[in-house]
Structure 1
């Protein structure tokens, strides 16, 4: 039985708070300890456990059947239970009375099988929840196999999701990966859910598995090649690394796959305008574990309510059909627990203090508590479970006030104000601090930057940026604060710089392809994305990304709509991800 499929007659296992009060548990526990009203003794090894038959029956179908069977002599007080240790039986009995047990890494491998054997499904669930909390790249494969053995389907799914999400770390740190058989390897590497930035990682994973026992395993290379989306590799990588690899080049069974892939890649190279055929099995993208949402903005002389999502694996933008009732621009967007919050902004007439929430699972928009102040050109970021809204323009003056929102209480409250009034700034969080940079104070574009420590409720000025930047994009990336683009009072810029909190210094980074201000910025797939904005002449839909590992900018696919004053956020591990990705895959 699955660990969360508790029969109605045993509903107490899953609803402790509703059906089984703490006070009742304590009374029953004390009665057992003192031996009062006990009507049976469970004997295991050399230990005796006085128990109440009705309590044991309530938590386990096994004990219920044992104690209500017509063949059971109700006058018999002693019941001998073989095949289990006294230590584990003690924990099972503890659970029957308290609906809790001391589950540890040392006893879990004995406790879960015993809980399963005696049909103590609440304890099975407790063990599974413990194992889910203990998942690591080193043990997730073993826990998944363990879950399969005992038909714990929720645990098996959780371990597989963890494996898919953290596959890069699994391939680096897990010895369990090297022990898998060919069927298990193919099952993992061929999955659409595999979280890999590129297919080179999958090829490396194949080689690592074969190299562990190459004499036995190299015969599987043709089968393993089919788990790789070879059409998503670059032609250069395929020709120089894959085609000529010793396991492949003289293997006749690999030749059909190699020929088919070469033809696919060369056809693509010959026609630069040709779109990648995502329906071809060679180029079918994996499913992303993060979705980038872009909301609202200014386009064609008016604000918009358009929502687009970006599928990183397919490099495609998708127009979302779930749009809010009204448009807004110069707003902030943040996400907490899969819910997106759209904060402040401007619709061409009104300056907003209103906040709207969007649930990507239900596609519902709702009004939540408004901010205390109207904030257009607002800067927002998330620290922990709270959203911070900083500065902005209320239609009369630039502000230095800061407030934060706790979604669980649906409440905004003020914290310490910044040292500088600023609108058109941008903010991010790193190492439990909030950072805000640049902006406009009503008179000049700013180069100032400051950090907020929620533990002391204080703002501290940092070394100023090397450039004045209003309409800036700021994001935490690789343990540094990146400040990109913006308006310096004369021109829109394509320059960028980064701040190191350790050295407390700013350093220039390579220039973007496009000058831009009032654009969206986010980190996804371990790259910084600069999205849309205003280039000094017109709003743009161009998107580019920066990879610190190569220290280079790359073009990404353009949005469907050219717009500035837009805002973006990333939602991770979205259950309804299929609604927001490119359908042709």
Structure 2
């Protein structure tokens, strides 16, 4: 079984597992004291548990535990009594507690943590209590998180309880589909989870499915709660078709009189919305209040109205709204690359209409501060960027003179860029992504023609390898990994801007066409969010556009999303997940269109 100590940082992320000895204790002194205890030397008290005797030094246990300090000072200070009997704990656990008091180290395992934590709580051994909580935090899975939260709540481990609750809300789809613990919850707890504004669900259909799974576990006893559970679903955010065909007619709903008023209220709401697309949603109506998104799409810079821009917009996927951010960089930039690493955004290279950049700007959404990172070794406009294992890769581009095949990578811990193996082809205006530990780059322009060639870089062997060419030449292409394939969308083939797309299957080394986008576009932003591909802005051959659409690989269909506030091409985008100040980047009024309204 795994056994280790884990420290958890303030943001809830874990560092590498390691055995920890508190720095204020000298290792040598701890060893001496432990030897004295084992030999019974200088011991001034005996703890008895289940008939077993443990000679100890009162001062050592008092330093570790307020419980023992109070016990020894209040019970023994006025007497010469040396022996104390402890109940409510096993001799084996008491032995571990005493060893921890002397050495400040122990081994926590899945087998002993459920005994150690209550004991640490009982005797107020706060260092051990924290280590047990940290261990459990790093053991959380969708299958056990509800049990861990209940355990933490029972022993008033508030931070662990909050972390477990956050995990449930962020991963609710995995939790309700795989966890038997979810099925054991009382209705109050189910309502608490499914009714939360912070519930991370792509659509409200998932919430209805979670309700049904919980009721189906014990339908005779639970179907009477259906009306209460329906109130946790934002029914006004369902499509009318789904509500009529799945919710309204379901036997649990149809056979429960208390559901009738909910059905009538929702049907009226959806009917009014369908009749008037411009009608503003009543945000006070709980039927339509959007959930808070757990990831935010940032779009930075681009080319608009004949000049570059520094505008930053964020997309609230739950409200289907774009928000203009006030925290813009000092200077405009277009034809750049943007990536997010550990909730920090890096804006790489680009062009401002006069100067070709090798500079790298850094934006921290949590602090809303911009700063400068080390510049690249080469100026790179039309650059392709990707992130693999926390390392930022910048490939190709145009430095004002030549189209490049060089590539370099950025190590954040040293704040340095270094060249690595050049690509097989010169590429500017290409697009890069990562899949299965490799960096793929597709299309682009070599100074003479638009390219259909593609290659990937394997970091383990420091080598670029060509793959089957795309079916179409694509410069200004959008490339992204999705559902185990590489998708290449849009771009310029040398004659026209395209709305076609194709996907590459690494297993078969072949390309296949996918459904066409609504809008032809090149030099657009592309990102993955909510299990969909988003194509954002770009140039359609006549003008820059602000149109946004998203592709669902499951249904193999494109859907319209709300337009950006600014027409722009040569923009770049990234997604930041789990921001502590997510409220600063979402739509404040929380009004909502149908997030998946297909164009007629």
TM-score, normalization by structure 1: 0.94
Corresponding residue for 1:414?
Answer: 419
Alignment of 1:481-496 (within 5 A): 481-496=486-501
Aligned mate of 1:80, from 77, 85, 96? 85
CA contact (8 A) 1:279 1:584 kept: no
Deviates more, 1:491-500 or 1:60-69: 60-69
- The reply on whether 1:145 has 2:135 as its aligned counterpart is no
CA contact (8 A) 2:499 2:519 kept: yes
Shift of 1:421: 1.5
Corresponding residue for 2:458?
Answer: 453
CA gap 1:94/1:467 in 2 versus in 1, 3 angstroms: farther
CA contact (8 A) 1:4 1:121 kept: no
Corresponding residue for 1:171?
Answer: 176
- The reply on whether 1:381 has 2:375 as its aligned counterpart is no
CA contact (8 A) 2:21 2:105 kept: no
Shift of 1:564: 0.6
CA contact (8 A) 2:21 2:103 kept: no
* SS of structure 2 residue aligned to 1:318: strand
CA gap 1:321/1:426 in 2 versus in 1, 3 angstroms: same
Q: What is the CA–CA distance in structure 2 between the aligned matches of 1:446 and 1:374, rounded to whole Å?
A: 22
* SS of structure 2 residue aligned to 1:104: coil
* SS of structure 1 residue aligned to 2:309: strand
Q: What is the CA–CA distance in structure 1 between the aligned matches of 2:488 and 2:401, rounded to whole Å?
A: 27
CA gap 1:145/1:438 in 2 versus in 1, 3 angstroms: same
- The reply on whether 1:245 has 2:262 as its aligned counterpart is no
Corresponding residue for 1:338?
Answer: 343
CA gap 1:34/1:238 in 2 versus in 1, 3 angstroms: same
Q: What is the CA–CA distance in structure 2 between the aligned matches of 1:77 and 1:16, rounded to whole Å?
A: 29
Aligned mate of 1:578, from 561, 580, 583? 583
Q: What is the CA–CA distance in structure 2 between the aligned matches of 1:16 and 1:329, rounded to whole Å?
A: 51
- The reply on whether 1:314 has 2:322 as its aligned counterpart is no
Q: What is the CA–CA distance in structure 1 between the aligned matches of 2:39 and 2:358, rounded to whole Å?
A: 63
Corresponding residue for 1:187?
Answer: 192
Aligned mate of 1:234, from 236, 239, 242? 239
Deviates more, 1:60-69 or 1:498-507: 60-69
Aligned mate of 2:410, from 383, 396, 405? 405
CA contact (8 A) 1:56 1:64 kept: yes
Q: What is the CA–CA distance in structure 2 between the aligned matches of 1:248 and 1:216, rounded to whole Å?
A: 15
Corresponding residue for 2:567?
Answer: 562
CA gap 1:261/1:59 in 2 versus in 1, 3 angstroms: same
Structure 1 runs not aligned, ≥5 long: 6-14
* SS of structure 2 residue aligned to 1:450: strand
Shift of 1:109: 1.1
Corresponding residue for 1:58?
Answer: 63
Q: What is the CA–CA distance in structure 2 between the aligned matches of 1:507 and 1:36, rounded to whole Å?
A: 79
CA gap 1:459/1:259 in 2 versus in 1, 3 angstroms: same
- The reply on whether 1:356 has 2:361 as its aligned counterpart is yes
Shift of 1:331: 0.8
Q: C-alpha deviations, 1:474-498, integer Å up to 9, x for none? A: 1111111111111111111111111
Corresponding residue for 1:203?
Answer: 208
Q: What is the CA–CA distance in structure 2 between the aligned matches of 1:536 and 1:236, rounded to whole Å?
A: 37
Corresponding residue for 1:288?
Answer: 293
Q: What is the CA–CA distance in structure 2 between the aligned matches of 1:24 and 1:301, rounded to whole Å?
A: 72
Q: What is the CA–CA distance in structure 2 between the aligned matches of 1:506 and 1:154, rounded to whole Å?
A: 49
TM-score, normalization by structure 2: 0.92
* SS of structure 2 residue aligned to 1:282: coil
Aligned mate of 2:218, from 213, 218, 236? 213
Shift of 1:267: 0.6
Q: What is the CA–CA distance in structure 1 between the aligned matches of 2:540 and 2:289, rounded to whole Å?
A: 35
* SS of structure 2 residue aligned to 1:141: helix
Corresponding residue for 1:136?
Answer: 141
CA gap 1:30/1:535 in 2 versus in 1, 3 angstroms: farther
Q: What is the CA–CA distance in structure 1 between the aligned matches of 2:275 and 2:446, rounded to whole Å?
A: 52
CA gap 1:488/1:33 in 2 versus in 1, 3 angstroms: farther
CA gap 1:37/1:539 in 2 versus in 1, 3 angstroms: farther
Shift of 1:238: 1.1
* SS of structure 2 residue aligned to 1:305: coil
Deviates more, 1:374-383 or 1:35-44: 35-44
Shift of 1:426: 0.8
Deviates more, 1:30-39 or 1:188-197: 30-39
Shift of 1:160: 0.5
Corresponding residue for 1:112?
Answer: 117
Alignment of 1:89-100 (within 5 A): 89-100=94-105
Q: What is the CA–CA distance in structure 1 between the aligned matches of 2:583 and 2:559, rounded to whole Å?
A: 26
Shift of 1:508: 1.0
Shift of 1:249: 2.0
Corresponding residue for 1:11?
Answer: none
Structure 2 runs not aligned, ≥5 long: 1-7, 11-19, 591-600
Alignment of 1:503-518 (within 5 A): 503-518=508-523
CA gap 1:454/1:371 in 2 versus in 1, 3 angstroms: same
Q: What is the CA–CA distance in structure 1 between the aligned matches of 2:192 and 2:574, rounded to whole Å?
A: 32
Q: C-alpha deviations, 1:23-49, integer Å up to 9, x for none? A: 544454455455555444433335444
CA contact (8 A) 2:292 2:318 kept: yes
Q: What is the CA–CA distance in structure 2 between the aligned matches of 1:583 and 1:528, rounded to whole Å?
A: 25
Following TM superposition, where does structure 1 have runs of at least 4 consecutive aligned residues deviating by more than 6 angstroms? none
CA gap 1:24/1:404 in 2 versus in 1, 3 angstroms: farther
CA gap 1:39/1:463 in 2 versus in 1, 3 angstroms: farther
Q: C-alpha deviations, 1:265-295, integer Å up to 9, x for none? A: 1011111333444442111011111111111
Q: What is the CA–CA distance in structure 2 between the aligned matches of 1:23 and 1:483, rounded to whole Å?
A: 62
Corresponding residue for 1:10?
Answer: none
CA gap 1:248/1:79 in 2 versus in 1, 3 angstroms: same
CA contact (8 A) 2:76 2:82 kept: no
CA gap 1:545/1:21 in 2 versus in 1, 3 angstroms: farther
Q: C-alpha deviations, 1:328-381, integer Å up to 9, x for none? A: 111111111111111111111111111111111110111111112111111111
Shift of 1:98: 3.3
Aligned residues: 574
Aligned mate of 1:262, from 264, 267, 278? 267
Corresponding residue for 1:299?
Answer: 304
Q: What is the CA–CA distance in structure 2 between the aligned matches of 1:77 and 1:342, rounded to whole Å?
A: 68
* SS of structure 1 residue aligned to 2:189: helix
CA contact (8 A) 1:400 1:418 kept: yes
Q: C-alpha deviations, 1:186-236, integer Å up to 9, x for none? A: 111100111111111111111111121111111111111111101001111
Q: C-alpha deviations, 1:84-122, integer Å up to 9, x for none? A: 122222322233233332111111111100000010111
Q: C-alpha deviations, 1:514-539, integer Å up to 9, x for none? A: 11111100000000000001111111
